[in-house]
Structure 1
Amino acid sequence: MSHVSEIRAPAAADPARAVTIIRSEEEAIRAAHAAAAIIAELARDPASEKQLPVRQAELLSTSGLTGISVRPEYGGLGASVKTIVDTVRIISAADGGVGQILQIHHVMARGLVNAESEDVRAFFSRELLAGKRLGNALAEVGGKNKFDQKTRLETDADGTLRLNGAKFYATGSYLADWISVSARGADGTPGGALVSRHAPGVTALDDWHAYGQRHSVSGTVLFDNVEVDPSIQTPRGKGPFPRTGLTFPQILHAAIDTGIASGALAAAIDYLNTHARAWVESGVERPTDEPLIINRIGQYAVAVRAAEATLRYAADVFDQHRAAPDDHDLATELILAVATARAKSDEASLAIGSDLFSLLGASSSLEKWNLDRFWRNARVHTTHDPIRWRLQHVGNFYLNGVDPGEYNQITQARQGV
C-alpha cells in the first residue's frame, strides 16, 4: 500500500452499508464491546499498523456507534455523555487509534446535532444515522502556534464561497465522509466550514507516520478552491466560548487513554497466562504465582480502576452540567473533574504500557506480539494536550482560588474575539 494516497473524486454512498440504529444506552455499550472484540483481534497483528483502518472505521459506522448522539426527535438515541465516553473507552482498549477516530467524530457531531439551524440538525442527523463519519481539519503546521492559521474561506467574484489551505493532524479525515475545517475570512475573522471529503478540490494524504496512534490517520488534507455549500454550515456564534467549551473533547481524550491503559493490562495478563515463564529465582512453576508479579499486576489494576472511576465521575458531572449549563460552581467542578480524569488516564496508560515488559520477559518484546503498541499509542496521544496545563488549572484553583479555565479563553482574549 502506498504511504501517500489521494482522494479527489466524489464517492457514492455505499449501498451495502447496513447500519444499526441503536435505541438504548445498554445497546450502545454492547455494540461497543462487539466491535472492540473484532478491532482488538486486528490490532494484535503488527502488520495491521501499516494498513489503513478501513475495516475498523466501517465497524464504527455499521455498529451504529457513530450515530448515538443524534437526538430522539430525529430518530436517534440522544446518548448521554457517560455512554459516549464509555464507547470511546471500550474501542480505545482495543485500538487507541481507532478510538481517536470515534473521539473526533463525536466532537464534530456534537455541534451538528445541536446546531441552531433546524435544516442543519435534520440533514446531519440523517447522515449520522446512515453511518457517515466526521473528521477534523483544524490544526496547521508552520505557524507560531496551533491557532496561527493560513487557511482561508472567502467569497469569489461570482458569489461562491471557496475554501483554500492545508491542514495537518486531521484526525479521521482520510476515512471520513465530512470534514470540519477551521479557516479565516477575508478580514481575518476566525470561522470554519463543513465540506464533503469527496468534494472536488479536497485531497487527503495518508502521510501520518508517527510511531503511535497510527490508526488515527491524522495526516494532511489539502483544500484547493473547494466550493462550500452555505446551506449546511454552522456559523460560529458571537462572543467567547463557554468556560467548559473544551471539556467534551478533553473528557473523550481521557477516555482514549483510560482505554489504552485497560487494554495494556488485559494484554499483560493474557501474556502471563499463555506465554511467559516463571523467573528461576521465584520458586514457582507459573509466573502468575510469583508474588512480585501478582503485586505489580495489582498496582496496574488499581491505576486502571482509578482512571476509570475518575472518568465515570467526570462523565456524571458532565451530564449534570448539560441540564444546568449556567451553574457556575457545577461548571468549575466539571473542569476540575475532567482535568483529574485526564491526569489519571495519562499516568495509567504511560506507566502500564511501558512497564508491562518488566513482568513479561524479553520474548514479549518481539515484534510478532505487537505489545509495544500500547505504550506507543499512549505516548503519542498524551502529547496532544499537555497534561501539565490541566494540572496548572487545578493547582491555581486550590492554591490561589483562581477559577479554572481552558486555553480557548486565553487564545480568544489575545485575539480580541
Structure 2
Amino acid sequence: MSTAERSLANAGSPSAVRVLHSEAQALEAAREVAREIAEIAADPSRNGELPRRQAELLSQSGITAIGVPKALGGLGASVETIVETVRIISVADGGVGQLLQIHNVMLRGLLTSSYPEDVRARVIADVLAGKRFGNALAEVGGKNKFALKTRVERRADGKLVLNGSKFYSTGSYLAEWISLTAASDDGGAGILLHRDTPGLTLVDDWEAFGQNNSVSGTVIFDNIELDERFVSRREGPLKRTWLSFPQILHAAIDTGIAAGALDAGVQYLRNQSRPWVESGVENASEEPHIIRQIGEYAVALRAAEALLRDAARVFDQHDRDPENKALQDELILSVASARAHSDSASLKISSDIFSLLGASASLTKWNLDRFWRNARVHTTHDPIRWRLHHVGNYYLNGVDPGEYTAILDAKQKEGATRS
C-alpha cells in the first residue's frame, strides 16, 4: 500500500474520544452512535462504501476502550457490557458490529499474552486514544485452519522475518494495530504489527454478499523485519474456554442482526405494506396471520437475547473464578446455546419476514435484504453443528463440553502449524 493509500485509510482515525466513566454510560454511548450507523446502513446509495465514518463513530464514542482494565486507565467493563455494546451496534449494522467484535477479541488477547509491559502500555495508550485492532489470523488454501503458511524465520543475521498472507482479516484495513498468528520452527507465534510497518500491505478486497462493512480482506507480509518485543510465544496449552469470548461476541452480532431485521420489518408493515385482499382489515398490521407470525419472530428473538444475557453473566462469574471446572463447563454450554439460538433467529427473521411484507419490500430502495445478507454470511463463521455436537455429547454421553482449542493444541504438537 502506498503512503497515500495509508493516509486515506487513516482518514477515519478519531479526532476526539469520549471518556466513559460507567458501564451505563458505555451502553448509552453505544445506543447514540448506533442511531447514526443505522441511518447509513439503511441508505442503499451507501452500499459498498468503506465504513470509515462508522469506524470513527465507534472510536469517538469511547466504546472501543471499555475493555481496558481500570488499572491501565480504562473502564474495565464487564463481559456483559462488552457483549451488549456489540449487540447494540449489530442491530444497526452487523458488519460494523463485527469490527467492534474483533477489536475486543484482539484487545483481550493482548491483555492475556506474554508481550512485555512496554509493548502492552504502548498499544493500550493507542486504544485509549481511540485506535482500533484488526486481526490477521485465518488463511485460505491450507488443509485446515490450523495449517498456517505464514511463517516467522530467523535469518542468518539473527533478525526475525515474517512472510505470508492472511484473508478474513476483519477490520484490519481500517485498524491501527494488526494482531496475527504465524508458524515457526518453535511453534505458533502471536505478532503485533502497526499499520505503518514496512512490508505490510493491507488490501481492500473483501467482496462478499454480506457483512461487507467488516472489511475482512487480505493482509500481506513481505519480508517484514520484526521487533522481537512484539512477538509473543505461548507457554502451555490454551485455556479450555479460550474461544468463549469470540464466540459470545459472535452470538451478540447475530442476535443484533435478528433484532434489526424484526424492527425494520415492523416499521415496513406499519408504514408501507398493504393488507391482503381477503383479510378484511384496513392495515397490514391488523392481519391476524401477520400478528401471529410477528409474535413467533419476537419469541425467537427474546429467547436469543435471554440466552445471550445469561451466557454473559456466566462469563463474568467465570472470569472471577477461572479455574472452577463447573463454571468452565457452564460457560461453554451457555455460549454454545446462545450461538445456536442467535444463528437460528437471525436467519429465520431476516429471511422469512419478506413473506409478510409483500413484493414491494424486495425493491432495492428499501435495502431490507441487508439483514439477511449479513446473517447468512456471518453465521457461516463457525459451524453451529459442532456447538450442538458438544452440547449433545455432554447431555447424552457425559463427555466434557469442549471448544476446538484442544484440537489446536494437538495439531501444534503434531507440527501442523509449522508448514
Residue 200 of structure 1: which of 198, 201, 217 is its match?
Answer: 198
- Counterpart of 2:207 in structure 1 is 209
Q: What TM-score, normalized by structure 2, do the two folds share?
A: 0.95
- Following the alignment from structure 1 to structure 2, what is the Cα–Cα distance between the partners of residues 96 and 10? 24
1:53-202, aligned counterparts within 5 Å?
53-116=51-114, 117-185=116-184, 187=185, 189-202=187-200
Question: Do the aligned partners of 1:164 and 1:223 also contact (CA within 8 Å) in 2?
Answer: yes
- Following the alignment from structure 2 to structure 1, what is the Cα–Cα distance between the partners of residues 347 and 224? 41
Residue 38 of structure 2: which of 24, 37, 40 is its match?
Answer: 40
1:281 aligned onto 2:278: yes
- Counterpart of 1:23 in structure 2 is 21
- Following the alignment from structure 1 to structure 2, what is the Cα–Cα distance between the partners of residues 97 and 226? 30
Instruction: Give, in angstroms, the shift of residue 11 of structure 1.
Output: 8.3
- Counterpart of 1:219 in structure 2 is 217
Question: Do the aligned partners of 2:240 and 2:406 also contact (CA within 8 Å) in 1?
Answer: yes
1:357 aligned onto 2:354: yes
- Give a deviation string over 1:6-39, Cα, whole Å, max 9, x none: 9457988988710112111001100100110000
Question: Do the aligned partners of 2:189 and 2:234 also contact (CA within 8 Å) in 1?
Answer: no
Structure 2, unmatched stretches of 5+, are 415-419
RMSD of equivalent CA atoms = 2.0
Structure 1, unmatched stretches of 5+, are none
- Counterpart of 1:230 in structure 2 is 228
- Give a deviation string over 1:96-144, Cα, whole Å, max 9, x none: 0000010000000012234453323322221110011000001111111
- Following the alignment from structure 1 to structure 2, what is the Cα–Cα distance between the partners of residues 145 and 411? 11
- Following the alignment from structure 1 to structure 2, what is the Cα–Cα distance between the partners of residues 157 and 299? 65
- Counterpart of 2:417 in structure 1 is none
Structure 2 CA distance for partners of 1:328 and 1:15, relative to 1, 3 Å: closer
1:244 aligned onto 2:241: yes
Q: Which SS does the other structure have where 2:34 is aligned?
A: helix
Residue 302 of structure 1: which of 299, 302, 305 is its match?
Answer: 299
Q: Which SS does the other structure have where 1:170 is aligned?
A: coil
- Following the alignment from structure 1 to structure 2, what is the Cα–Cα distance between the partners of residues 13 and 72? 29
Instruction: Give, in angstroms, the shift of residue 370 of structure 1.
Output: 0.8
Instruction: Give, in angstroms, the shift of residue 161 of structure 1.
Output: 2.5
- Structure 1 counterpart of 2:327, one-letter code: L
Instruction: Give, in angstroms, the shift of residue 340 of structure 1.
Output: 0.2
User: More deviation in 138-147 or 334-343?
Assistant: 138-147
Q: Which SS does the other structure have where 2:387 is aligned?
A: helix
**Which stretches of structure 1, 4 residues or longer, exceed 4 Å deviation after superposition?**
5-16
Question: Do the aligned partners of 1:7 and 1:202 also contact (CA within 8 Å) in 2?
Answer: no
- Counterpart of 2:342 in structure 1 is 345
User: More deviation in 247-256 or 105-114?
Assistant: 105-114
Structure 2 CA distance for partners of 1:6 and 1:17, relative to 1, 3 Å: closer
Instruction: Give, in angstroms, the shift of residue 268 of structure 1.
Output: 0.5
Instruction: Give, in angstroms, the shift of residue 148 of structure 1.
Output: 1.0
Residue 394 of structure 2: which of 394, 397, 412 is its match?
Answer: 397
1:407 aligned onto 2:412: no
Q: Which SS does the other structure have where 2:242 is aligned?
A: coil
Q: What TM-score, normalized by structure 1, do the two folds share?
A: 0.95
Instruction: Give, in angstroms, the shift of residue 159 of structure 1.
Output: 2.9
- Structure 2 counterpart of 1:134, one-letter code: F
Instruction: Give, in angstroms, the shift of residue 147 of structure 1.
Output: 1.2
Question: Do the aligned partners of 2:12 and 2:53 also contact (CA within 8 Å) in 1?
Answer: no
Structure 2 CA distance for partners of 1:14 and 1:37, relative to 1, 3 Å: closer
The sequence identity of aligned pairs, in percent, is: 64
